[in-house]
């Protein structure tokens, strides 16, 4: 780790072509960081893509409440809130399913992109966590070709405590930077 920064200042300092992991256990903090990341991209005129397994109406409402003018940016064609299915359901395999999600999310949109989300919805089980790590490894290996800044989100309140340290370590291996905030007092952001 190089220099620790306040997470909000860190998000504001991000330039393009970074693969960043966001680890949190307070969903309101997670949303605050995600929406700041998206808003910063919108202010720069970037195509911002929010991938979710939830109903997009929920995300739109939360973004509106955070101060993002969702209607304006959707009409401008810059904000895209896309409900995705799990790549595990793709008949050609998980990694092909992941590639298809990214292709669909970026189709007909001009780079650079800002992408927020995670493709495997529930990573409580070790197998699902391993699949998500494989997706992170693949994303990181082809990252230079994506012309994007990606914020991969991990809500640790959904993951067994015994797996936290191991998962953070594995995530840091396949990202340029990490933002970590936990109720146990760790609040940091850093380039790895």
**Any idea what the Cα angle at residue 28 is, between residues 36 and 181, rounded to 5°?**
80
Measured CA to CA, the distance from residue 32 to residue 25 in angstroms comes to: 13
- What is the architecture of the domain spanning 7-191? 3-Layer(aba) Sandwich (3.40)
Model pTM score: 0.91
The residue ranges of every structural domain in the chain are 7-191
**Could you report the per-residue pLDDT of 36-72, keeping only the tens digit for each?**
999 999 999 999 999 999 999 999 999 999 999 999 9
Condensed to tens digits (0 to 9), the pLDDT of residues 95-135 reads 899 999 999 999 999 999 999 999 998 888 888 888 899 99
CB of 52 closer than 8 Å to CB of 81: yes
């Amino acid at each position: 780790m190089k220099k620790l920064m306040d997470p909000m200042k860190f998000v504001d300092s991000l330039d393009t072509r970074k693969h960043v992991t966001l680890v949190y256990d307070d969903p309101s903090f997670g949303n605050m960081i995600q929406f700041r990341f998206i808003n910063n991209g919108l202010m720069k005129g970037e195509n911002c893509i929010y991938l979710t397994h939830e109903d997009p109406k929920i995300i739109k409402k939360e973004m509106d409440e955070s101060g993002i003018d969702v209607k304006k940016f959707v009409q401008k064609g810059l904000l895209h809130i896309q409900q995705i299915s799990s790549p595990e359901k793709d008949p050609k395999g998980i990694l092909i399913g992941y590639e298809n999600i990214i292709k669909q999310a970026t189709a007909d949109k001009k780079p650079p992109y800002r992408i927020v989300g995670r493709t495997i919805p529930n990573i409580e089980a070790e197998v699902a966590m391993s699949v998500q790590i494989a997706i992170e490894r693949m994303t990181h290996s082809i990252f230079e070709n994506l012309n994007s800044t990606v914020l991969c989100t991990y809500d640790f309140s959904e993951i067994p405590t015994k797996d936290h340290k191991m998962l953070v370590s594995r995530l840091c291996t396949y990202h340029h930077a990490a933002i970590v905030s936990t109720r146990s007092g760790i609040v940091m952001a850093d380039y790895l």
